[in-house]
Amino acid sequence: MKVGIVGAGMVGSTAGYALALMGLASEIVLIDRNDALAVAQAEDIAHAVPFMSSTVVNAGQYRDLEGAGVVILAAGVSQKPGETRLELLERNAAVFRAVLAEVLPVAPDAILLIASNPVDIMTQITTRLSGIDPRRVIGSGTILDTARFRSLVGRHLGISPQSVHAYVLGEHGDSEVLAWTSARAGSVPLSSFAAQVGSPLTAEVRAQIDDGVRNAAYKIINGKGSTYYGIGAGLARIVKAIARDQRDVLSVSISTPEVAGVRDVALSIPRVVGADGVLADLFPDLDDAEYAALNRSASLLKERADAIPL
Please report whether residue 253 would count as binding ligand CC(=O)C(=O)O according to CB under 6 A. Answer: no
Please report whether residue 85 would count as binding ligand CC(=O)C(=O)O according to CB under 6 A. Answer: yes
Nearer to ligand NAI, 84 or 199 (CB): 84
Could you write out the DSSP letters of every residue in 63-120?
Answer: GGGTT-SEEEE--S--PPTT--SGGGHHHHHHHHHHHHHHHHHH-TTSEEEE-SSSHH
- Please tell me which residue in 2, 156, 172, 271 is annotated as part of the active site: 172
The DSSP secondary-structure symbol of 170 reads B
Q: Which amino acid is it at 251?
A: S
SS3 content of the chain, % helix, strand, coil (to 5): 50, 20, 30
Closest distance between ligand CC(=O)C(=O)O and the C-beta of residue 85, in Å?
6
CA-CA distance, 120 to 53, in Å (whole number)? 32
Closest distance between ligand CC(=O)C(=O)O and the C-beta of residue 121, in Å?
13
139 is in an annotated binding site: no
Closest distance between ligand NAI and the C-beta of residue 97, in Å?
9
Task: Map the footprint of ligand NAI across residues 138-177, applying CB under 6 A.
Answer: 140, 144, 172
Site string for ligand NAI, 173-202 (x = CB under 6 A): ------------------------------
**Catalytic (active site) residue 156:** no
CA-CA distance, 196 to 217, in Å (whole number)? 32
Among 29, 132, 144, 233, binds ligand CC(=O)C(=O)O (CB under 6 A): 144
Q: State the binding partner of 148 from ligand NAI, ligand CC(=O)C(=O)O, none, CB within 5 to 8 A by kind.
A: none
List, in sequence order, every residue forming a beta bridge with 114; answer none if it has no partner: 73, 139
184 is in an annotated binding site: no
Nearer to ligand NAI, 10 or 278 (CB): 10
CA-CA distance, 221 to 193, in Å (whole number)? 33
Nearer to ligand CC(=O)C(=O)O, 164 or 217 (CB): 217
Closest CA to 147 of 157, 137, 161: 161
CA-CA distance, 291 to 259, in Å (whole number)? 10
H or E element: which one contains 205?
helix 203-214
List, in sequence order, every residue forming a beta bridge with 112; answer none if it has no partner: 71, 137
Site string for ligand NAI, 13-52 (x = CB under 6 A): -------------------xxx--x---------------
| Residues lying near ligand NAI in the complex (CB under 6 A) | 6-12, 32-34, 37, 74-79, 88, 92, 95, 98-99, 115-117, 119, 140, 144, 172, 226-228, 231
